[in-house]
Amino acid sequence: MTAAARPLPSHEPPDALLQAKADGAPPVLKFEKVGFSYDGRTIMRDVSFAVAPGDILALLGPSGCGKTTILNMVAGFLRPTAGVAVVDGREITGPGPDRGVVFQAAALFDWMTVAENIAFSLRCAGARKGERRAVAEEMAALVGLTGFEDAYPYQLSGGMRQRVGLARVLAAKPKVMLMDEPFSALDVQTRESLQEEVLRIRDRTGCTILFVTHAIDEAAFLGDRIFLLNDLKAGAYDTFDVDLPTPRASPDNRLHPSFLRLRETIYRRMRH
DSSP string, 219-264: HHHH-SEEEEEEEGGGTEEEEEE---PSSTT-GGGGGSHHHHHHHH
* Residue 2 belongs to some domain of the structure: no
Same domain for 82 and 117?
A: no
User: Using an 8 Å Cβ cutoff, are 266 and 219 in contact?
Assistant: yes
Same domain for 188 and 270?
A: yes
What is the pLDDT at residue 63?
Answer: 77
* Residue 16 belongs to some domain of the structure: yes
* Residue 216 belongs to some domain of the structure: yes
Q: For helices 188-205 and 129-142, what crossing angle results, to 10°?
A: 120
Same domain for 189 and 168?
A: no
Task: Give pLDDT tens digits for 110-168.
Answer: 999 999 999 998 888 888 999 999 999 999 999 989 999 999 999 999 899 999 999 99
What φ, ψ does residue 44 adopt, rounded to 5°? -155, 155
Q: Which domain holds residue 165?
A: 105-173
Task: Give pLDDT tens digits for 20-54.
Answer: 454 567 899 999 999 999 888 888 888 999 999 99
Please count the structural domains in the chain: 2
Q: Report the pLDDT averaged over residues 229-240.
A: 81
* Residue 3 belongs to some domain of the structure: no
Same domain for 74 and 184?
A: yes
Contacts of 69 (CB under 8 A, 6+ apart): 36, 43, 44, 78, 232
pLDDT higher than threshold 90 for residue 217:
yes
More confident residue, 26 or 225: 225
What is the pLDDT at residue 177?
Answer: 94
Same domain for 181 and 265?
A: yes
> Alpha-carbon distance 224 to 248, whole Å?
10
Question: Domain holding 65: CATH number?
Answer: 3.40.50.300
Q: What is the pTM of this model?
A: 0.85
What is the pLDDT at residue 21?
Answer: 54
Same domain for 120 and 73?
A: no
Same domain for 33 and 142?
A: no
Same domain for 39 and 71?
A: yes
* Residue 74 belongs to some domain of the structure: yes
For 198-213, letters b (16+ CB in 10 Å) and e give bbebbbebbbbbbbbb
Same domain for 169 and 183?
A: no
Same domain for 186 and 132?
A: no
Contacts of 255 (CB under 8 A, 6+ apart): none
Task: Give pLDDT tens digits for 157-213.
Answer: 989 999 999 999 999 889 999 999 988 888 899 899 999 999 999 998 899 999 999
Same domain for 32 and 119?
A: no
* Residue 62 belongs to some domain of the structure: yes
Same domain for 45 and 89?
A: yes
> Alpha-carbon distance 19 to 5, whole Å?
32
pLDDT higher than threshold 90 for residue 76:
yes
